[in-house]
Amino acid sequence: MEAISLTAIGLGLIVLGAALGIGKIGQSAIEAMSRQPEISSKIQTAMIVAAALIEGVSLFAIVVAWLVD
């Protein structure tokens, strides 16, 4: 039981971190887009790339947590 609950806590922490990061990216991207709508497509690409990088790290952590469990 001990190991299972530790994995669950780890997964929760991963989700927290990833959500915080992606949320901040989305927030600043939307702010930037509303300031300069004419370059919104460029901002969108940059946003998706940054979100994908965070997602990559968090998925990596999830897979490791799953394997260690």
Partner 1 sequence: MRILFIIFFLLVTSLNLQASSEHAEEEGAVDAFGLIMGHISDSHQWHVIDYTNRHGHPVHISMPLPVILWHDNQLWFYSSDSFFHAEHPVKIGNDHLVLEDGHFYLTDHEGTIIRDGQGSITNPSPLDFSITKNVASMILSMLLLLLIFLSAAKAYARYGMPPPKGFRAILEPLILFVRDDIARSQIDEDKADKFVPFLLTLFFFIWINNLIGIVPFFPGGSNLSGNISFTATLAVFAFLAINIFASKDYWKHIFIAPGMPFPIKILLVPLEFVGIFIKPFALMIRLFANITAGHIIILSLISIIFILKSIYIAPVSVLLSLVMFMLELLVAVLQAYIFTLLTALFIGMSTSKTEH
Binding positions for partner 1, rule: CB under 8 A: 41, 45, 48-49, 52-53, 55-57, 59-60, 62-63
**Closer to partner 1 at the Cβ: 16 or 64?**
64
Nearest distance, CB of residue 67 and partner 1, angstroms: 11
Q: How far is the CB of 14 from partner 1 (least distance, A)?
A: 11
User: What DSSP assignment string belongs to 35-50?
Assistant: H-GGGHHHHHHHHHHH
Q: Please say whether the beta carbons of 39 and 64 come within 8 A.
A: no
Tokens of 62: 């999830």
